[in-house]
Amino acid sequence: MAKRTRSGTDSSNNNPSEIIPVLLDETTRQRYLNYALSVITSRALPDIRDGLKPVQRRILFSMFHNHRLVPDRPPIKSAKVVGSVIGEWHPHGDAAVYDAMARMAQPWSLRNTLVDGHGNFGSQDGDRPAAYRYTEARLTPLALELLNELNKNTVDFQPNYDGKAEEPLVLPARFPNLLVNGSTGIAVGMATNIPPHNLGEVIEAAIALIANRDASISDLMKYLKGPDFPTGGEILNNKTEIREMYETGQGSIRLRGEYEVKALDHGKSAILITSIPFAVDKSTIVERIGELIITKKVPQLVDVRDESTTEVQIALETQKDADPHLAMAYLFKHTPLQNNFSVNLTCLVPVPGSIVARPDCLNLKQMLEQFIDFRFVTVKRRFSYDLQVLEKRIHILNGFKLIFDALDQVLKIIRQSEGKADSANKLQQRFGLEPIQTDAILETPIYKLSRTEIKKMLDELADK
């Protein structure tokens, strides 16, 4: 049994502190459980609704809310974004925030980038981004599809870590970001590894499921053929294996780089590797091939060069009359040019009637169903908000309509009043207006009461 000391004054006696006996095993179990839940729900796993982890969500929200970094505005220093994120939304290290931000700007990491990075944000060779004082960033157009409906009461908000501001529980994503961009993370006792997919195929599958909620996973695979990795590569799994992966939420994708052969002079040929497996550093592949050439493990090859620019191109020169396909078969077996991507479709799923989410391993149909159900709620809330705004505007315009035929009397009442409150009371008594209507009238500039402006308001009321 352990003892815990609680500082402070006990109301029942004058002891400056109180020693409370606790069971060590129970306390340890509870503390570890709290830690595990914190890692699962607040760090490692993405939410099925917007496909983001908390740090990613807070970065995008800060760029949108704090800095208004929309695509048509100039980018700002990444240091400003990182500072606002850790200062107001995510009380953790700056390195973790910047790494997450940089990854969302890397086209070889995300199928569709959410951050438009300017400067050195790393490379496919595994080079790290430049320090955040050197790089700049703003949101991509696709990122706005996650954020644009925030101001229409589409999602719930919660207090930030110090209670001085509010952040969204999730973003009102207008596309299934988790399937589109995938995610990877390691929590306590569980992990996730969701492959990215083609945006158009995911949208088509979602539309098909909306049209037929009884559609099977085989039906959905008519539209969503399989994963689509940002670095390209050839998927070796057959349709049956991919379907089983989508049905169980777990499996393995066998992925290999693609190549083409070009004939050279004197019976030689060049092998051009044009894509590599996802999450593999290109420099690692080049170094490994170089080692095999030096040690004569692959006698068909004499040289390897990295000729990549914006596109991947690793050039291999062969011996005279050597079989390039035999050389590639050896490389696929002994280098990272072919590897396995372990699939685990684990994510946070909302609990009905609660703001919390629980981890669960879903199949493809369940992932789409969860997103569609979420969008039904957000669209309904958006329509409700738009209706309230419309009704409020109509109510205000009706107030203007009441006074337009008595403007001289309105101006006389205002001139003879002793302030805004007095003017509002007299206008309400004389014309039967409500406070929101009188406030709008009193805050209207005089030029807005011209004949032309009055006609515009009446036309607007008629249109609504």
438: left (phi over 0), alpha (psi -120 to 50) or beta: alpha
Angle at 427 between CA 424 and CA 432, to 5 degrees: 115
Residue type at 85 in one-letter notation: V
CA quadruple 371, 373, 378, 383: dihedral sign = positive
Do 172 and 202 form a contact (C-beta atoms < 8 A)? no
Three-state DSSP class for residue 260: strand
In whole angstroms, what is the distance from residue 410 CA to residue 403 CA? Answer: 7
Q: Which two tokens stand for residue 389?
A: 């705004």
Helix%, strand%, coil% for the chain, nearest 5? 45, 20, 35
What angle do helix axes 451-463 and 364-404 make, rounded to 10 degrees?
140
Going from the C-alpha of 213 to that of each of 176, 210, 217, 364, 369, the distances in angstroms are 17, 6, 11, 13, 8
And the tokens for 90?
């995510």
Residue in the block written with tokens 């050279």: 264
Q: Burial level of 58, CB count in 10 A (0-12/13-18/19+)?
A: buried
Distance of CA 96 to the CA centre of its chain: 16
DSSP conformation letters of 158-200:
EE-TTSSSEEESS---SS-HHHHH-EEEE-SS-EEEE----HH
Amino acid at 282: K
> Residue 407 burial (CB < 10 Å; 0-12/13-18/19+)?
exposed
DSSP type of residue 44: I
147: tokens are 């954020």
| Residue pointed to by tokens 């909620």 | 213
- Say which of 32, 134, 246, 385 is annotated catalytic: 134
Residue 10 DSSP one-character state: -
Structure tokens at 294: 């030096």
Return the structure tokens found at 123. 């490379």
Active site residue 246: no
Catalytic residues: 134
